[in-house]
Amino acid sequence: MKEKAQVSERFREFKAELTSRPSIVLGMGLRGFLRLLSLKNPWTIALVALIWLWTLGFYVLLSTGDYPCENLFGDDSSEDFKRCQPLVYYNDLGLGGVRLFLVTLAAISSSGLIANDMTDKSIHLYLSRPISRLDYLIARFIPVVYINQWGEAGLEFDWIKNHKWLLLDILILGSFYSASYSIIGLTFSTAINRESWAAGAFFLFVYGSAIIVEIFYLMIGDDRVLLLSIIHLLDIIGFFIFDTQPFFTAAFGFEGIDIADIEVFGVFILIIGSCGIFVNWMISQMEANK
C-alpha cells in the first residue's frame, strides 16, 4: 500500500519540463524522416537506392567521354558544357529517369504525411499541442525535404569529386527541387485524404501537365506556355541557378527558352504561394470543424 501511495504521489506531483517550439518542430521532423527511412516504407528506401545506382551508372558512362551535352552545345562551348552537365543529370536528354525517380520519391514520401493525419484525424491532437499551424506544416515538410535531399545526394557524388566549382549550385538546385516538389506533394496530401490517391494525383499532375504543355507548345509556339508545367517551370529556374541558357527537349530536339525573369518567378511564387495558402486554409478548417 505504502509503495502504491508513493507512486500516486509522484504521479500527482508530475509537471513535465517542456522544451521550446523549434525543438518540438525539429523533433517531429526528424522522427518523420526516420519513419520514412524505416523498413515500414520499403518503396522509399528502394527509390533512394535506385537513384544512387542510376547516378553511379551515368558516372561510369560519363567516364567514357560519351556525354550528351556535346550534342547540345558542340565541342567548342566548353563553358556551356560545364554548366549544362549537372542539369542534364536532373532533366532530359535521356536522363529523365533520375527526375522520374525523384518525382516518384517526392510523391511517395509526401503523400502520406498530412493525408494520414487527416484521415485518422490525429491532426486535431497535434494542433492542440503547443505548436502553431505553421509549426505543424514545417514539421511535416522537414521529412519530405530530407528524404528528397538524400535521393539527390547521389547526384552530388560526381560533382563533389570532379566539379567542385559547381558544388554550391548543385546543392542549391537539390534543395530547390526538394522543397518545391515537397510543398506541391504536401498540398496533394492535404487535398486528398487518401495516401495512395494523393501520390497518384501528384504524379499525374506533375507529368500530365508536362505532356499537355509540350503538346500546346508545339501547337502555339509560345515559350510562356511552359510555365504552366511544374517540371518545366522548375527546370527553367534550375537554369537560372546555374546561370546558363534555358532549354528543353521537345519532340524533335532541343529548344531554347526565352521568357522574362519576372514572368518565371511570378508564376513560381503564385503556384507555391497558392499551395501554402491552400494547405493552411484546409488545416484551419479542420481545426474549427470536426
Partner 1 sequence: MDDFTVDIPEGKIGILGPNGAGKSTFVKIALGLIRTTSGSVTVLGVDLDRNTIDIRRKIGYMPEHDCIPNSMTGVEFLIEMGLVTGMSLQSATQRTHEILGHLMMGEEKYRKIEEYSGGMRQKIKLAQGLIHGPDVIFLDEPTSGLDPKARQEMLETINGLTEVSGTNVLLSTHILQDVETVCDHVIIINNGKLQMQENVKKLMQRQTDVIQVRIGGSTEDFVKQLKKSGITATSGGRGLHVPYVNDKTFEQIVDSAVKSNCQLYEMERATTTMDNIYLEVVD
Binding site for partner 1 (CB under 8 A): 7-8, 10-12, 14-21, 23-24, 27-28, 31, 116, 120-132, 287-288, 290
Question: Cβ closer to partner 1: 12 or 161?
Answer: 12
The smaller minimum CB distance to partner 1, of residues 23 and 71, is found at 23
At closest approach, how far in Å is the CB of 106 from partner 1? 22
Helix segments in the chain, DSSP class H: 2-13, 21-36, 42-63, 69-73, 78-90, 96-119, 123-127, 133-162, 167-191, 195-220, 230-241, 261-288
Residue number with CB closer to partner 1 (152 or 195):
195
Q: Give me 22's grid cell.
A: 523549434
Question: How deeply is 126 buried, as exposed, middle or buried, from its count of CB atoms within 10 A (0-12, 13-18, 19+)?
Answer: middle
Please state the closest distance from residue 27 (CB atom) to partner 1, in A: 6
Q: How far is the CB of 185 from partner 1 (least distance, A)?
A: 20
**Between 91 and 189, CB nearer to partner 1:** 189
| CB closer to partner 1, 121 vs 164 | 121
Q: Report the amino acid identity of residue 256.
A: G
- In the complex, least distance from residue 36 CB atom to partner 1, rounded to whole angstroms: 14
> Which residues 6+ apart lie within 8 Å of 189 measured at CB?
110, 111, 112, 113, 114, 115, 195, 198, 202
Q: Could you tell me the smallest distance in angstroms from the CB atom of residue 144 to partner 1?
A: 18
